[in-house]
Amino acid sequence: MSRALLVVDVQNDFTEGGALGVTGGSALARRITAFLGRHADEYDLIVASRDWHHGDDDNGGHFAGPEGPDYETTWPVHCVAGSPGAEYHPDLDTEPVDVHVYKGQGTPDYSAFQARTEEGRTLPDVLAEHRVVTIDIVGIATDHCVRATALDARAAGFDVAVYDDLVTGVDPGRSARALEEIRTVGGHVDHSDMDEGLANPGGAVL
């Protein structure tokens, strides 16, 4: 009966200055690192996911064509495998991460449950090997990959919690709806203890 932490897509292209930079992404990387400093030893497994797209095709229509992106189902080129944009944000401490998984290799993936290790193991396989029953989720973006990952985790029967202060989204309204959708399917939306003792509670200042 194990507990896992899933860190979703804290990558350069999803933080300020990246191809699809989300406001607050860099601060979030530091905040997740601080959370890991306090809590990493409470998890039996820590997994980090990354978009890891092909650079020579449209990844199943995920990358926009000449008509340009609609920012709902088609996107600018981002997180191309091996590129600086696909790397973890430098302020995210990946030392505690046990398993790294990669998604979107030629396909328009959002959920980390579609990801695989370098050896080809799926995320569900990894979780099963470690007998995980509970998953806490943090990362980017609340209204896209965090949402998809949490919904897939619930559909697979896991007890799921998303920390609302350890995620950040593209659109505030859509992000709020995503969290409510997670609640609707039986997931939990919790708040971490990262504001305790901070000079500016509520701000992503770490």
Of residues 13, 136, 143, 145, which has the active-site annotation?
145
Distance of CA 19 to the CA centre of its chain: 16
For the chain, first and last CA: distance in Å? Answer: 32
**Residue 70: active-site member:** no
Q: Which residue has the tokens 């990844």?
A: 59
Of the candidates 9, 51, 109, 152, the residue annotated as catalytic is 9
> Residue for token digits 């695989």?
116
Taking the C-alpha atoms of residue 10 and residue 165, their distance in angstroms, rounded to an integer, is: 14
Sign of the CA dihedral 77, 6, 33, 22?
A: positive
Does the active-site annotation cover 79? no
> Which among 103, 109, 136, 165 is annotated as catalytic?
103
Annotate 52-80 with three-state secondary structure.
CECCCCCCCCCECCCCCCCCCCCECCCCE
152 classed as catalytic: no
Degrees, nearest 5: CA angle 30-35-39: 155
Rounded Cα distance between 18 and 185, Å, is 32
Catalytically annotated residues = 9, 103, 145
